[in-house]
Amino acid sequence: MNFIEQKLKGVFVIEPQVFGDSRGYFMESYKKELFEQYVGPVDFIQDNESRSSYGVLRGLHYQKGEWSQAKLVRVTQGRVYDVAVDLRRSSPTFGQYIGVELSDENKRQLYIPRGFAHGFAVLSETAQFCYKVDNVYAPQHEATLRYDDPRVGVVWPVKAEEMLLSDKDRVGLGFDEIETFE
Task: Assign residue 72 the CATH number of its domain.
Answer: 2.60.120.10
Compute φ and ψ for 17, nearest 5 degrees: -90, 125
Residue 146 lies in a domain: yes
- Find, among 61, 43, 146, 22, the residue nearest to 30 by Cα: 43
Number of H helices, E strands in the chain: 2, 13
Q: CA angle, 49 as apex, 179 and 111 as ends, to 5°?
A: 55
* pLDDT on residue 95: 97
Residue 61: active-site member:
yes
**The one catalytic residue among 81, 97, 111, 131:** 131
pLDDT per residue rounded down to tens, the chain (182 residues): 999 999 999 999 999 999 999 999 998 999 999 999 999 999 999 999 999 999 999 999 999 999 999 999 999 999 999 999 999 999 999 999 999 999 999 999 999 999 999 999 999 999 999 999 999 999 999 999 999 999 999 999 999 999 999 999 999 999 999 999 98
Residue 54 lies in a domain: yes
Q: How far is CA 68 from CA 30, 47, 117, 139, 167, in A?
A: 21, 16, 10, 11, 22
Residue 102 lies in a domain: yes
Q: How far is CA 25 from CA 16, 22, 28, 107, in A?
A: 12, 8, 10, 11
Residue 22 lies in a domain: no
Residue 21 lies in a domain: no
pTM of the shown model: 0.94
Residue 24 lies in a domain: no
Residue 25: active-site member:
no
Cβ-contact 60, 99 below 8 angstroms: no
What's the domain count of the chain? 1
**The one catalytic residue among 61, 62, 111, 147:** 61
- Residues spanned by the domain of 87: 2-16+43-177
Residue 160 lies in a domain: yes
